Structure 1
Amino acid sequence: MSELTLSVVLPSYHRLELLPRLVDEYRRQGANQIIIVLDGPHPGWEDVIARSGPVEVVELAVNRGLARARIAGLERVRCDLVLAVDDDVVPEPGLVDRHRAAHAVAQDHVVQGYMPIALPAKRGRDAAPTYLYARDYEIQADAWRRGGSATILKSLWGGNVSLPADLYRRAEAVKPSVRLEYNEDLDLGIRLLELGATAVFDDSARARHHHSRGLRPYLRECEARGGAVHALEQRWGERPAQLTPIVTIPPSYSRVLGAAQRRIAAADSGGLTLASAVVVYRACGAVRLFTLQDGVARFLRRALAMRGYRRALETPTVT
């Protein structure tokens, strides 16, 4: 049996400076095809990417969001396998070969690679979002190790995922990708489950995720997460169970903190409660009370996700 061919699909948005290093590494590892999808106009990209040698570039006329940018890349794929990666994920040696090898054992197979967060040697005063993301990721990775195929597909985490190109196209036939501001990978996993796909988590298919998020973009992301929960409910007719804690306060949660989260969720503007939480967050960072700062960041995550969910509910659906 001949070796499976592999296409790397790499969407990017305003991170041109990261692309030459990534292209060089994927080429060094033997990827048969490298497709960069610039998610919207990126003037001057030719001068940056040309330094990397031959590579296929798709520049979208408008920003379409991650899921649809990936599909624009899928339309150019000529290989057996698609390795869907992110532009802030740096492959470690052997990544491409590990993905190829994992697909040699089964058809309709999805390989979830491992991509721990590259944390700095010294934590900065506004790094709680990245440290929370790193902890959440490791918790999920442990669940993948313990769970089976369905566990992986019900919590698919993009950035280092491969699957047969034909399977990806069939998932698009089940439901075409739509723009979601969060949980695009979960949406793909649900479609793959409907097709009867299997999945495996491969620790050795390893990359490093250079996640970086300060407080302000984190707050916007939290609200977007709530809107995405509503969008997935509308798309599938029910809410994926793992998303409930994002937009619902559990009974065991502090009544005082829960009331404060509800106040933030009910206000369209910042509000005094949100402003006070931001002040506490920044003060904790300044004096290196990082455990407390992380608690404030978690508190704000649900409060703003609840706001995003509420606002999505109140927005009329265009039919």
Structure 2
Amino acid sequence: MSVETRRTLTVVIPSYRRLDRLNDIADRYLDQGADEVVIVLDGPHPGWESALPEREGVLVRELPENRGLALARIAGLEASSGEIVLAVDDDVEPGPGLVDRHRRFHTGGDTVLQGYMPVTVPRPRGRDQAPTYLYARDYETQVDGWRRGDSSTILNSLWGGNVSLPRDLYLRAEQVKPSERLEYNEDLDLGIRLLRLDATASFDEQARSSHHHSRGLDAYLRECFARGGAVADLEKRWGERPAQLTPTVTIPAGYNPVLGWVQRRIAARDSDGLVQSAVIVVYRLSGIMQNWRLQDASARLLRRALIMRGYRLARRA
């Protein structure tokens, strides 16, 4: 790409309580030729000035309160000056040439590039790492869909952490509907808005990064419950439930009736009960015994049950 046609690119990194990794991540993007890195601290981070010393090419914005990922990204968007915005997560490590792959893609028009960010799974597997292994498999399943699908497939399943788009397109998406706090599916919400603008999207497997996902069971259960509330929030926001989220809050036809009963029983309670506790015991014991198949099955069972509970309670509120 000639100097005359080189488009400027800003990397936006929202972060929450991960100060220790931000300097290294910012340096990696600058070393790859990013024109600017904007770090958004999502809420007060006392002492960040010493942890993130001022330097050329890096802007730090500390939000006065925790606003959630979507609004933190918008704060970064507003502070950015690049023609292209590359939105990444603070637990995603850029692969070689990532910035250049995103920059070269954007030659004009309302286009979005979904990069590839496979999950780095721990090996050997520990006794409480089923959430990360499930996340990694779910992600690769979605990637298979992007490989076979079209532009709308990508935007209807946008997966943040390694996504770029023109700054002006992002700003126009805010005019369709301004971002609001969602505890999950922020990327899907952005994808829906971009579809309203007739934007197009591509998936580039060579725009590669590594996702250092980490969840133990307790954090995973909280996340599952929050996902249910986010489904209800999106349903209210758009006047209908996005079809791709229906399988997360309903038990499909033909599903094992016993497992369905367990999930409905857990979902019907407003707090932990005997059935949920029993499944958690199975999860813990299977981890000790390294019965990964059983542990994964119990984690999946808990996932839908708690998403259903979170959805029910959010709709009732």
Same fold flag (TM > 0.5): yes
Partner-residue secondary structure (3-state), 2:52: helix
Equivalent residue letter for 1:36: I
User: Any unmatched runs of 5+ in structure 2?
Assistant: none
Aligned to 2:105: 102
**Post-superposition, which runs of at least 4 consecutive aligned residues in structure 1 deviate over 4 A?**
51-54
Which of 199, 208, 215 is 2:217 aligned to?
215
Which of 130, 155, 158 is 1:156 aligned to?
158
Aligned to 1:134: 136
Aligned to 2:83: 80
Partner-residue secondary structure (3-state), 1:226: helix
Cα distance in 1 between the residues matched to 2:281 and 2:55: 44
Shift of 1:121: 2.2
Cα RMSD (Å) of the superposition? Answer: 1.0
Cα distance in 2 between the residues matched to 1:162 and 1:252: 40
Give the fraction of aligned pairs with identical amino acids, expressed as a percent: 66
Equivalent residue letter for 1:167: L
**Native 8 Å contact 1:20 1:51 kept in 2:** no
Cα distance in 2 between the residues matched to 1:291 and 1:259: 21
Partner-residue secondary structure (3-state), 1:141: helix
Equivalent residue letter for 1:191: R
Structural mapping, 1:18-29, within 5 Å? 18-29=21-32
User: C-alpha offsets along residues 22-65 of structure 1, whole Å, 9 cap, x if unaligned?
Assistant: 01100100100110000000011111111876510000000000
Cα distance in 2 between the residues matched to 1:190 and 1:121: 36
**Native 8 Å contact 2:70 2:179 kept in 1:** yes
**Native 8 Å contact 1:24 1:52 kept in 2:** no
Using structure 2 for the length normalisation, give the TM-score.
0.98
Partner-residue secondary structure (3-state), 2:220: helix
Partner-residue secondary structure (3-state), 2:79: coil
Partner-residue secondary structure (3-state), 1:98: helix
Question: Is 2:312 the counterpart of 1:310?
Answer: yes
Question: Is 2:27 the counterpart of 1:7?
Answer: no
User: C-alpha offsets along residues 69-98 of structure 1, whole Å, 9 cap, x if unaligned?
Assistant: 000011111111000000000001100000
Cα distance in 1 between the residues matched to 2:54 and 2:109: 37
Cα distance in 2 between the residues matched to 1:107 and 1:173: 18
Cα distance in 2 between the residues matched to 1:208 and 1:52: 25
**Native 8 Å contact 1:20 1:52 kept in 2:** no
Shift of 1:310: 0.5
User: Any unmatched runs of 5+ in structure 1?
Assistant: none
Partner-residue secondary structure (3-state), 1:75: helix
Which of 159, 169, 184 is 2:171 aligned to?
169
**Native 8 Å contact 1:108 1:167 kept in 2:** yes
Equivalent residue letter for 2:29: Y
Cα distance in 2 between the residues matched to 1:265 and 1:204: 41
Using structure 1 for the length normalisation, give the TM-score.
0.97
Question: Is 2:91 the counterpart of 1:64?
Answer: no
User: Size of the alignment, in residue pairs?
Assistant: 314
Aligned to 1:30: 33
User: C-alpha offsets along residues 208-261 of structure 1, whole Å, 9 cap, x if unaligned?
Assistant: 000000000000000111111110000001111110010000011111111111
Aligned to 2:230: 228
Shift of 1:119: 1.1
Partner-residue secondary structure (3-state), 2:37: strand
Question: Is 2:59 the counterpart of 1:49?
Answer: no
